[in-house]
Amino acid sequence: MTNPLRIAIAGLGTVGVGVIRILVSHQQMIAARAGRPVEIVAVSASNRGRQRGVDISGYDWVDNALDFAARDDIDIIVELIGGSDGVAHALARQSLGRGKPFVTANKALIAHHGMELARIAEEQNIGLRFEAAVAGGIPIIKSLGEGLTANRLTRLYGILNGTTNYILTQMEATARDYGEILEETKLLGYLEADPSLDLDGIDAGHKLAILSMVAFGVNINFDAIYMEGIRRIKLVDIDYARELGYRIKLLGLASLSAAGLEQRVHPCLVPDSAPIAHVDDGVNAVVVDGDAVGRTFYEGRGAGEGPTASAVVADIIDIARGHHGPAFFVPAQGMQKVNLISISDRVGPYYIRLHVEEQPGVIADIAAALRDKDVSLHVMLQKGSEQDGSVYVVMVTHDTREQKLMDAMDQINALSSVIDKPLAIRIENL
């Protein structure tokens, strides 16, 4: 086929500019790999006059991206606006509904509306692609849906948010506390426009939802994913973790068993010997367990112009080649609904950090609260006093059920000698 694939791009931020750069600079190579030329016909963004570092004068400017869906001179629409609802959702529905393949880097859109959009795409027999929505520099969606398709996948976990990984890495490398590194991260432009998406684990939750749908063929409920961020991690936790032989990472973890689907995002203590413990700064990594292949490990840049735009263009090439299979590699009507396992049922060891007044009977009161809830201690560490006469007490438990530990933590928090709310971090011996 020699007719060009005519595309429209909605959103000209960092990724949109990157897509234009790749399509222009690699034009001949892409045409050879796609089997046909790929041409940008029209673009849309919120600010026409902004200087972007690429020439867009040769493309038709459209003020309202929703107009793309009705145009006969556009074959495929690339959405790089962001957000789960609003223009992005409307553009996806209208484009697919009119039979136009749709490529997006929008993890929130797919996490919240992926099943709905997949059904529309299948009804129209067209492609819906979102490789760039998860760990842009790693082709993890294709790896799960194509490279590992012969496997029954049972578990996956990974560092899915580069910003929080950068913060934790810098805390450890520079011995500076969370607040100071956070300010530096803001100045570098690493945070999402809404910082809570990064800091509270929501961004990683979006990506975990997508990976779960692709890996396990399940219809998920995003609101049921447990999400906890890194705001309460202190330098003292980084130091104690290192002393205990661990590093702290914000992980997304999902597993499917006969009991159901478990999905959670939260800080973890991971053994220093685990490969994922040494994935630092803005790098993402995903580990996948399959019954035939065993364990596989994927690592690469998860964000930024180049990695994300690379994934977007790869999806465009797929569509140019005529690939239009199910978005989640299983027909939408075949996606399973499974029992959801609550975080309160998690069983494993925990790291506990307490900040207490140094006075007689404190340790006895803490031990009594743990004993009352059947929480058994493996390690307890206590070092010198702080300048205000307080002290940090750090404990590692034996395997215990989450709900029992949380009940014990509530009881400890009620003690008059406790200065700050106790912190518990799950230990994952990966």
| Cross-strand partners of 44 | 10
Cα 195 to its chain centre, rounded Å, is 14
CA angle 151, 155, 158 (to 5 degrees): 120
In the block, tokens 């690469």 appear at: 300
CA distance 323 to 243: 51
Selecting among 100, 142, 207, 373, the annotated active-site residue is 207
Concerning whether 207 is annotated as a catalytic residue, the answer is yes
Query: Assign residue 306 a region: left if phi > 0, alpha if psi is -120 to 50, beta otherwise?
Result: alpha
CA distance 426 to 295: 22
- Residue 228, SS3 per DSSP: coil
Residue 142 structure tokens? 């294709």
Residues with Cβ within 8 Å of 335's Cβ and at least 6 positions away in sequence, in order, are 115, 213, 217, 218, 219, 328
CA distance 349 to 238: 17
Residue 277 structure tokens? 């413990």
| Cross-strand partners of 43 | 9, 61
- Residue 23, SS3 per DSSP: helix
| Cross-strand partners of 227 | 265
CA distance 97 to 357: 63
N- to C-terminal Cα distance for the chain?
48
Residue 353 structure tokens? 């950090």
Active site residues: 207
